[in-house]
Structure 1
Amino acid sequence: MTNSPVDPLVIIELTNLKATEKFEELAKHPAIGLKPEWIEELTHKGVAVRKALAANPAIKVAPKAIKRIRKDNSVTVRSALASNKAVAALPEVIQALAADKDPRVRSSLAKNPELTNYPDIIQVLSADEYGHVHIALAQNPCLADYPEIIEAFAKNAHTSRTLAIRQDLDKYPDVAAQLVKSGDWSMRFVLALNPAISRCPEAAMKLSKDRNKSIRKALASNPAVKASEAAKADPTP
């Protein structure tokens, strides 16, 4: 299998950015991977440039640069790297980021949707001492493969609110049933607005009879609920 030919105009564009010292734009460019040696150079530039580079998936072609950025003095730079989907292909980097001393970096990693192949890391993050890391993890789509963590998060006042907005909440009817019983009206309000609630008939029924009028109105205005009700009223294809 041969590599696709490189568009010379792209090379010219990259060269012009470097020549005019537009380093942040260069660091963001999706084709920067064509110049691995430049990626290494950019790791020595300012914070804004290093942050842009750390967030760029193209950085995967420069493992030495990634290792440098992983140890960057700036939390924002390391956080950008932790959010980068491309780092999922580098177990050593993932492990180091999961053990980062700053919870903001660990929170960024917890949101990375490419953590699916790292069950040990997900378990570590779910047990992190900082609640913000848990909240970040509760948003992650890959958590769908860990129902035991979702069930544990449903019992926590902070993470349960995040679960209430998950688009796959219908996969966990017991969790939805638990959330709908919350004494916090704002929790039930958020739940009523979630499109997934239309696929949780028991929870939706309870919300439709909620003592709070605002919650009943929120449920009634939910487009997914409206569509579900319309389908029931007219079952013809």
Structure 2
Amino acid sequence: MGKQQDVGGSDRHSGSGTTGERAIEGGVDARLALAQDPATPQMTLFDLASDPSAAVRRAVASRADAPAQALRPLTRDHDRGVREAVARNPSASIANLLRLVKDADRWVRWAVAGNPACDESVRRVMSEAADKELRGLLAESRELEPELAARLIEDVSPEVRERLATHTQDPDVITALLADRTARVRKGLARNPRTTAEQRSALAQDPVVDVRVALVGAVELEDADLARLVDDRSVQVRLALAKSEVVPAHIRQALGRDPDEMVASAARDFRPASARSAAVRAPRIGHRPSGSGRRRPGGAAR
């Protein structure tokens, strides 16, 4: 079904089709069944949107074929579950989503963040929100305009920047965050499969142990980087290396002779979790995987 259009108007419908003049017969179960029935006429959905039962209103709010004007009053419903159902509805109009992304209840706002119908106008409101979690959910989005990505790079919250670092697919964003002074942001980058071999080499020499630990457990590294990490001054890093699913056999053999018995034992006793490793190789510079198109910062191929 195409995108709904919210053309404005009163939140309460008037005329012969309103519940004020035409009550729907039957108990709650009957009205709920009617709200869930794909064959129910749209004018009846208008009536059911004002039903005294929250369960019935939630059923209307969840329908992809519900008219935007029927959903509009539900964006201000006193029941959070009703508003959240509209927020999750992939056919909700942009006007309705813009109302809900500013909802007083955080769960409703967060539901909007996961709605595939969100466009740039909704994402812009999210980027300017005081709600840190809402901005964090935006940072994880695969659809992120360059201007909004730039705003999140400078976000006051290290958590938001970390989530952006972990999920972004944009090379410019990765490069910018590599220089972030907060270790947890670089730790997020260490887990990002879109980093290049050169960027991984820089992260392998990061002064913060947690960054190096995250790196060795997440992505494949060049032999030169692995050789340095085998002799890393931190037992935590060497232990993470010994337990990593993405470390080649000769590195694990070297760790089996580590002076720390805990590291050596972990390397000798290692058993892969699966026959095939979930290793993530560094992308080749200038190489675009087949089937991918031009990408926006943090976004999927369009």
Q: Normalising by structure 1, what TM-score? A: 0.75
Where does 1:16-165 land on structure 2 (aligned, <5 Å)?
A: 20-22=79-81, 25-26=84-85, 29=88, 31-46=89-104, 48-49=106-107, 51-53=109-111, 55-60=113-118, 62-87=119-144, 90-112=145-167, 115-116=168-169, 118-143=170-195, 146-158=196-208, 159-165=211-217
Cα deviation, 1:23-80, whole Å, max 9, x if unaligned, reads 5743763x434433321111221251355136415153x3222111110012222112
Going from structure 1 to structure 2, the CA distance change for 1:54 and 1:85 (only over 3 Å counts) comes to: farther
* Identity %, equivalent residues: 20
Count of residues paired in the alignment: 212
Q: Normalising by structure 2, what TM-score? A: 0.61
State the structure with more CA Rg: 2
Shift of the alpha carbon at 1:13? Answer: 5.0
Aligned residue among 208, 212, 216 for 2:264: 216
Going from structure 1 to structure 2, the CA distance change for 1:202 and 1:92 (only over 3 Å counts) comes to: same
Between structures 1 and 2, the one with greater helix share: 1
Contact (CA 8 Å) 1:51, 1:80: kept in 2 or not?
Answer: no
Going from structure 1 to structure 2, the CA distance change for 1:24 and 1:97 (only over 3 Å counts) comes to: farther
Contact (CA 8 Å) 1:193, 1:219: kept in 2 or not?
Answer: yes
Residue of structure 2 equivalent to 1:172: 222
Cα deviation, 1:151-180, whole Å, max 9, x if unaligned, reads 1111123221211211x32x4222222111
Contact (CA 8 Å) 2:129, 2:135: kept in 1 or not?
Answer: yes
Contact (CA 8 Å) 2:136, 2:160: kept in 1 or not?
Answer: yes
Structure 2: distance between partners of 1:163 and 1:71: 31
Consecutive unaligned residues of structure 2, counting only runs of 5 or more, are 3-36, 40-57, 63-70, 277-302
Structure 2: distance between partners of 1:23 and 1:161: 44
Which structure carries more relative contact order (alpha carbon 8 Å, separation 6+)?
2
What residue identity is the alignment partner of 1:120?
A: D
**Cα RMSD (Å) of the superposition?**
3.2
Going from structure 1 to structure 2, the CA distance change for 1:27 and 1:160 (only over 3 Å counts) comes to: farther
Structure 1: distance between partners of 2:101 and 2:252: 51
Structure 2: distance between partners of 1:34 and 1:56: 12
